[in-house]
Amino acid sequence: MMKRKGLVFAVLALNWLALLLVVRRMPAQIPMHVNLRGVVDGMGPNWWLLGFGALPAAVFLLLFALPKIDPFRQSWLKHEKAYERVLLALLVFFVLIGWLVASLGFGGGLGTQVSFRFESLLCTGLGLLFLVIGNHMGQLRQNWFFGIRTPWTLASETVWRKTHRLGAYAFVLCGALALIGAVLGLLTGLLWLEFTLAIAPVLLAAVWLTVYSYLLFQTEQRQKEGPDA
């Protein structure tokens, strides 16, 4: 994908122009937030949507530039394909968010019940994104910008590798739970259940992987020092 960066950026630019055409047909104030009952409880100017539309292009330019300034530049050559696939999934997810917000723009004002399952689509996209990340996380090599970057994974290649191996399983599990949450939300109408299954596992995984990398590093240091240290 990096070799076709011009094409990717052109597609993202066309996405922004499409949103611009949609914004021109919207009222000046549009829904921007939906509560856990599926009711619009926040409004904003319609031009905010153009910010959502520009987000994928901004993310693409930023993540394209990062490998060029990373001290671990050689690592990017080793995990280039994995990085490109995760980046593509991330861009698709941000494009999805932009159009989901756009779909709210014609839904009415404050207190309006959203006519479609906005949160289920969002949780489905999030779950699929986690699955892609999990399936490629084990291929990532040490770098300063992408992956599970703790002081201990950056200090030890072994700790990095083992932490990301566990992180791969954790993110696949998080993705599966987010998808289950989306289905349960559709069946039960419980929005809080959807978001709990989509967000809570990721937060718990982040804490556990941080602690895990610390414990691995401490074990590695004790082994280096020897039994008499």
* pTM for this model (two decimals): 0.85
Q: What is the pLDDT of residues 8-22, one digit of tens each?
A: 888 888 989 998 898
Per domain, the residue ranges of the chain are: 1-116, 119-229
Backbone φ and ψ of 172, nearest 5°: -65, -40
Q: What is the pLDDT of residues 28-79, one digit of tens each?
A: 887 777 776 777 777 888 888 888 888 888 888 888 888 888 888 888 888 9
Confidence bin at 109 (pLDDT 50/70/90): low
Is the pLDDT at 167 greater than 60, yes or no? yes
